[in-house]
Amino acid sequence: MRSLAGRWLGPTAVKTPRTGSLVRLIRRKPAGTLRAEHQHPEHKELFDMAQKVKVILIDDLDGGEAAETVRFGLDGVDYEIDLSQEHAEELRGALSPYLGKARRVSAARSRARRTQSGGSGSSSGGSLTKVRAWAREQGYQIGDRGRVPQEIVEAYKAAH
């Protein structure tokens, strides 16, 4: 700590980069917001301070520092994983024989394919529309949208 005109400045006193004036940081609620107060007696005003957030990616495989987030999809499911440069290259190398033979699918085409199948994978043995209609006929209360409860799907399968 150092002294300035008889005042001890702790670790919360900093110099502003633009003007070089000394300010004291004051924590405020909500948490994470800061205010600054000039240390000079002639400049006792308060002003808001900017806050800088630094995001550090951690490799999901080994816990080290990651270089990038890799996105990929398989069986209709999209994935993201944070990887170091080495692990990202390994993943791309492992997939390259398959990617070389695969067809690229646009996002719109992929969405259309999921919609035609009655949602994101209808394993009910029929379209979700048919399952909902059958469930209503049987006295179940079910909405027009959203997930169909597993008990209704199983009852539908048993009946058909």
> pLDDT tens digit string along 127-158?
888 999 999 999 988 888 888 888 888 899 89
19: containing domain: 2-48
Residues 124 and 99 in one domain: no
Burial of 133 (0-12, 13-18, 19+ CB in 10 A): middle
Q: Cβ contacts of residue 48 below 8 Å, gap of 6+?
A: 33, 34, 35, 36
pTM of this structure: 0.40
> pLDDT tens digit string along 21-40?
655 555 544 555 555 555 55
Write the CATH number for 59: 3.30.60.230
Residues 100 and 58 in one domain: yes
Residue 30: cis peptide before it, omega within 30 degrees of 0:
yes
Residues 61 and 90 in one domain: yes
The count of structural domains within the chain is 3
Residues 43 and 58 in one domain: no
Residues 95 and 73 in one domain: yes
